[in-house]
Chains A and B, each alone.
Chain A
Amino acid sequence: NAGVTQTPKFQVLKTGQSMTLQCAQDMNHEYMSWYRQDPGMGLRLIHYSVGAGITDQGEVPNGYNVSRSTTEDFPLRLLSAAPSQTSVYFCASSYRDSYNEQFFGPGTRLTVL
């Protein structure tokens, strides 16, 4: 199993550009989520999904869109990148039970100039 994979590993954007961060998991997990990690802020939830076709907002959803057309994939779209979106983005997945371990991807380091 590859676990949770994310692409790209690094990305530099200019203000106003759009892009999609890819996330995939091969563990048949129902739940998937996106977090951003900023220095001194910990990780904050952007969006999450409890299954194909079902998504909801987290703590910091503004400027991001998600969709979940398959169980395996959960892409995160930046509509119009802003310098405030410079961050490290982590995707995570887990089984339905809330006590279950969240499996994290390796992260995407995004810089917006």
Chain B
Amino acid sequence: AQRVTQPEKLLSVFKGAPVELKCNYSYSGSPELFWYVQYSRQRLQLLLRHISRESIKGFTADLNKGETSFHLKKPFAQEEDSAMYYCAVNSGYSTLTFGKGTMLLVSP
């Protein structure tokens, strides 16, 4: 069965500091990985998908099949990045298996 592990419940950094939110997965076959973000009082929204190899709001994530990881990184955190971040893997028919989430708090 697919499994997604986000080891940190809470990550607290100062504005301008680098950020890395960790995600490890367990999946047989070729995984399709995503990062979703939930800002306060807003709905869950897609941030990144590994297939796109894009940078959104300064965030990037690289799929490392050897380490089965898909860590989310940003070189300089901003206060508006404070949110709950979920790593997820496609589980068939566009359903997702989510990690437990990491709350990112960026202090001024």
**Interface residues in chain A, defined as those with a beta carbon under 8 Å from any beta carbon in chain B:** 31, 33, 35, 40-45, 48, 50, 56, 58-59, 90, 92, 94-102, 104-107
Contacts and interface: CB of A to CB of B under 8 A. Distances in A.
Interface of B: 4, 6, 9, 32, 36, 43-46, 49, 51, 86, 90-101
Given A98-B90, A102-B46, A42 B98 contact: yes
Given A42-B100, A42-B101, A107-B43, A99 B93 contact: no
Contacts of B49: 99, 101
B100 A41 contact: yes
A34 to B, nearest CB: 10
Q: Is the interface of B mostly helix, strand, loop or mixed?
A: loop
Contacts of A56: 93
Contacts of A59: 97
